[in-house]
Amino acid sequence: DQQVKQNSPSLSVQEGRISILNCDYTNSMFDYFLWYKKYPAEGPTFLISISSIKDKNEDGRFTVFLNKSAKHLSLHIVPSQPGDSAVYFCAANRAYNAGGTSYGKLTFGQGTILTVHP
């Protein structure tokens, strides 16, 4: 049972335009969500996070939106740059009701390959 899903395996965007990466989750116990960027054979790099008490969080060119009722989150990158080309993973955690089998466990989506063309 895949609790975090990224339904788009890939996304292609022109430089300067907006990139929108989507993620859906099924476990209502998740209350903290993160986005990571990853290059092949390297560890994921943390980009931005959002807790379930918010519906939006911004950091520079990156904005994450959370729709709890739809169990959906999205990452917006504006403007997109060629250096943004990488695999993007969303991940979910239980931060505010952690316990038992949730400690230290991020549940990841399968990733979306973003390609930004010059």
Partner 1 sequence: KAGVTQTPRYLIKTRGQQVTLSCSPISGHRSVSWYQQTPGQGLQFLFEYFSETQRNKGNFPGRFSGRQFSNSRSEMNVSTLELGDSALYLCASSLRGETEAFFGQGTRLTVV
Residue ranges in contact with partner 1 by CB under 8 A = 32, 34, 36, 41-46, 49, 89, 93-96, 98, 100-111
Cα angle for residues 13, 14, 16 (degrees, 5° grid): 115
Q: For 108, phi and psi rounded to 5 degrees?
A: -100, 150
Considering beta carbons, is residue 17 or 105 the nearer one to partner 1?
105
Considering beta carbons, is residue 36 or 80 the nearer one to partner 1?
36
Cβ 73 to partner 1 shortest distance, Å: 15
Considering beta carbons, is residue 54 or 105 the nearer one to partner 1?
105
Contact 11, 115 (CB under 8 A): yes
Considering beta carbons, is residue 56 or 105 the nearer one to partner 1?
105
Residue 90 pairs in a beta bridge with 35
Cβ 109 to partner 1 shortest distance, Å: 8
Show the tokens assigned to 4.
């975090």
Neighbouring CB atoms inside 10 A of 24's CB total 18
| Cα(6)–Cα(13) distance, integer angstroms | 17
Cβ 111 to partner 1 shortest distance, Å: 7
Cβ 8 to partner 1 shortest distance, Å: 15
